[in-house]
Amino acid sequence: MPLTIAEIAELCGGTAAGDPARSVRAAASLETASSTDIAFVTGKKALAVAASSQAGCLLVDSSFTLAGPWALVRVENPRASFARVLAALYPPKRKFAGIHPTAVVASSAAVADDCCIGPHTTVGENTVIAAACTVGPSCCIGDNVTLGPGSVLHANVTIYDGVTIGARAVLHSGVVIGADGFGFALVNGRYEKFPQVGTVSIGDDVEVGANSCIDRAALGVTRIGNGTKLDNLVHVGHNCVFGEHVVVAAQAGFSGGITVGDFAVIGGQAGIGEKAIIEAKAIVGGKAGILPSVKVHAGEPVWGIPARPLRKHLKGLAHVAKLPELREQVQQLGQQISRIEADVKKKS
């Protein structure tokens, strides 16, 4: 839906410069934007590109001084404001309210009247699906599940029995919540399953990327705090406890019993050993390996396998890069020693 410059300024809490009645219909990058598009400017590289941009409107901060054909909306954080504008320009498709004829909903389940339950979805006994939820096709929701208001389940999501999910959660396709944790005991030369009888509790405003899995606790609760965002292909093991607003990039894996503090950032393909503690606001770099029971402190990112503070990791890489040169120097020293020894033998 089109937005005027005045509407954009109001939406973003910014100040408009230019024709307030001018409208934009779409969003684009600075390089490709046309006169009916909006783009944003942040950083030196973007500033250089903005000079030749054909965008109809630019979201900029107070330091922007270039003149051009665009209307401007000055905001504190152009990128964050751009996200708000995107949501307004591209509102989600409205789904029908009701239960698709091919869906199977248990008679004891409570589904709010304004929910959308897609085709071939099943909803188990005593499950509660609150107002304004959207459940896509072929989802499987077990017994005694609670799904908070405004939550969205995309196609093929599986939620096992007894799981609780808060308000406005977004679970992308292929997500599995509440599968058994990886618990086995070696008895008389064979593995016997340790029953996983706990549950999973997910807070408000959590988003879980496609094909990610969050295991139920062996005992107690696997907990994901409010506002946490998990990328695609993330695995969270049994009895993990995530704080609020944690961000985890794709393919990261968490063993059992890990604690992750508020606002921690975990890079892609990081591997976290069991019972490790990631403190609030700590940063774990991509492909880092955190050993079991290790505590990662805030203050400096950790990187490498095993993970260590970034400065030490970079210093170690620099030393490794010098190994060929050092090897050559050692060979030369060895040759010099051999010549000296040969001279000594001749003189003796």
Condensed to tens digits (0 to 9), the pLDDT of residues 243-297 reads: 999 999 999 999 999 999 999 999 999 999 999 999 999 999 999 999 999 999 9
Which of the following is catalytic: 154, 172, 235, 238?
A: 238
Note the pLDDT of residue 1. Answer: 74
Note the pLDDT of residue 310. Answer: 67
For the domain with range 98-309, which CATH number is right: 3.40.1050.10, 2.60.40.420, 3.40.50.300, 2.160.10.10?
2.160.10.10
CB atoms within 10 A of CB 79: 14
Note the pLDDT of residue 335. Answer: 84
Q: With 80 as the cut, is the pLDDT of residue 326 above it?
A: yes
Condensed to tens digits (0 to 9), the pLDDT of residues 39-83 reads: 999 988 888 899 899 999 999 998 898 888 889 999 999 999 999
Question: What kind of fold does domain 3-89 have according to CATH?
Answer: 3.40.1390
**Is 238 assigned a catalytic role?**
yes
pTM for the whole structure:
0.83
Identify the residue whose tokens are 């990886």.
182
Instruction: Report the percentage of the chain scoring pLDDT > 70.
Output: 99
- Strand pairing partners for 105? 123
Condensed to tens digits (0 to 9), the pLDDT of residues 111-122 reads: 999 999 999 999
Condensed to tens digits (0 to 9), the pLDDT of residues 76-111 reads: 999 999 999 999 999 887 678 899 999 999 999 999
Q: Which helix (H) or strand (E) holds 265?
A: strand 265-266
Q: What is the mean pLDDT of the chain?
A: 93
